[in-house]
Amino acid sequence: MAVFTEVSPAQAQALLDHLELGQLSSLRGIGAGIENTNYFVDCTRDDHLHRYVLTLFERLTAEQLPFYLRLMQHLARRGVPVPEPHADRSGEILFEVAGKPAAIVDRLHGGHQLAPDAFHCQQVGATLARMHLAGRDFPLHQPNLRGLAWWREVVPQLLPFLEPGQAELLRSELAYQEQLAASPLYAELLRDCSGPIHADLFRDNVMFEPGEGPGRERLTGFFDFYFAGVDTWLFDLAVCLNDWCIDLADGRLVEDRAAAFVAAYEGVRPLTGAEHRLLPALMRAAALRFWVSRLFDLHLPREASLLKAHDPRHFERVLRQRIARPWHALHGGAAE
């Protein structure tokens, strides 16, 4: 069940008319979502088929949405492959459909690559760096709402649900991250190497389509920007490494994939000395972020939440791995 709000063909057509996008030819609810209602919308205009995604926002409000939608628009207009929200004649990109805030964005081609190799990682790494650079002049600001301030607020609420060993790990990692955030090196990162980040660029938020030759799929875009915020670029990279470049069974880093990812990223935007030094610490921060949010969704679900909780144990394992075997991209991926 992922279509939380039904949209009729007439309601979809009314929005297409307003945006002058053409004649509806097909409207299909998308089963995969867990946060929003999504529909594939196909329509014809000038004798051509155009494919869009209509999203009805079930959780985010009309006040919160401009940051995400304007960021997607900004990036798309700078050539970063992300779905562009469609604007009406007055430039508005947020509408109301069936009583919910709604937007129509371009549909990306292809599907997810859930078993990536080094070649997929290179493409995501290079595109991530391009996205970071393209976001530098984005004028809107919203902090990463799942950052240190949020961990500080929710960790005490989570501790009673945990076994002693887990509670100790959560407490000590938060203390480690507090110390890191107060360090001069981190201040340098915030000053020189931060901007809008995706903050949730997992395997299921990137599309690939078949390309020339076997295994040569081509990245077609990043989507699902609804955890985006302003934070360090290195945190975004760390989130990716912890998903694209690990063995999902035990959280171990797969070093050839991680090295390929970082090398491709650095082919577009070389990491600074401070970033190289802080990468292991930020990989811990990125693991902590998703351990905390998964614990939160499991133990303290928001009222009327639509979220289906993911397994928190996975990111507990990832965090333990990152602590036990810090990874330094600088030294050819050698673990300490």
Ligand X SMILES: N[C@@H](CCOP(=O)(O)O)C(=O)O
Ligand Y SMILES: Nc1ncnc2c1ncn2[C@@H]1O[C@H](COP(=O)(O)OP(=O)(O)O)[C@@H](O)[C@H]1O
Binding site for ligand X (CB under 6 A): 34-35, 200, 202, 205, 224, 290, 293-294, 310
Which of helix, strand or coil describes residue 105? strand
- CB-hemisphere CA count at 13 Å for 95? 23
Complex with ligand X: residue 224 or 231, whichever CB lies closer: 224
| CB atoms closer than 10 angstroms to residue 231 | 23
User: Does position 269 bind ligand Y by CB under 6 A?
Assistant: no
Alpha-carbon distance of 137 to 72, in angstroms, equals 13
Measured between alpha carbons, how far is residue 76 from residues 84, 90, 217, 229 in Å? Answer: 6, 19, 21, 17
- From the CB of 34, what's the least distance to ligand X, in Å? 6
> Could you tell which of ligand X, ligand Y, none binds residue 159, using a CB distance below 5 to 8 A set by kind?
none
In this chain, which stretch among 30-38, 162-170, 186-194, 235-243 interacts with ligand Y, using CB under 6 A?
Answer: 30-38
Residue owning tokens 């090196």: 185
Output the 3-class SS for 158-200: HHHHCCHHHHHHHHHHHHHHHHHHCCHHHHHHHHHCEEEECCC
Alpha-carbon distance of 85 to 170, in angstroms, equals 39
> Could you tell which of ligand X, ligand Y, none binds residue 108, using a CB distance below 5 to 8 A set by kind?
ligand Y
Alpha-carbon distance of 235 to 227, in angstroms, equals 13
- From the CB of 110, what's the least distance to ligand Y, in Å? 8
User: Does position 307 bind ligand Y by CB under 6 A?
Assistant: no
User: Does position 35 bind ligand Y by CB under 6 A?
Assistant: yes
Complex with ligand Y: residue 3 or 180, whichever CB lies closer: 3
> Could you tell which of ligand Y, ligand X, none binds residue 310, using a CB distance below 5 to 8 A set by kind?
ligand X
User: Does position 199 bind ligand Y by CB under 6 A?
Assistant: no
Cβ neighbours of residue 305 closer than 8 Å, sequence gap 6 or more: 59, 297
Q: CA geometry: angle at 189 spanning 188 and 193, to 5°? A: 120
The single residue among 16, 76, 108, 264 that binds ligand Y, judged by CB under 6 A, is 108
User: Does position 223 bind ligand Y by CB under 6 A?
Assistant: yes
User: Does position 83 bind ligand Y by CB under 6 A?
Assistant: yes
- CB-hemisphere CA count at 13 Å for 181? 16
Complex with ligand Y: residue 145 or 187, whichever CB lies closer: 145
> Could you tell which of ligand Y, ligand X, none binds residue 217, using a CB distance below 5 to 8 A set by kind?
none
- From the CB of 220, what's the least distance to ligand Y, in Å? 9
Complex with ligand Y: residue 72 or 134, whichever CB lies closer: 72
Using the 8-state DSSP alphabet, how is residue 136 labeled? G
Angle, helices 273-299 vs 233-244, to 10°: value is 60
- From the CB of 129, what's the least distance to ligand Y, in Å? 21
Q: How many residues bind ligand Y (CB under 6 A)?
A: 15
User: Does position 81 bind ligand Y by CB under 6 A?
Assistant: no
User: Does position 38 bind ligand Y by CB under 6 A?
Assistant: yes
Binding site for ligand Y (CB under 6 A): 30, 32-36, 38, 53, 83, 105, 107-108, 204, 223-224
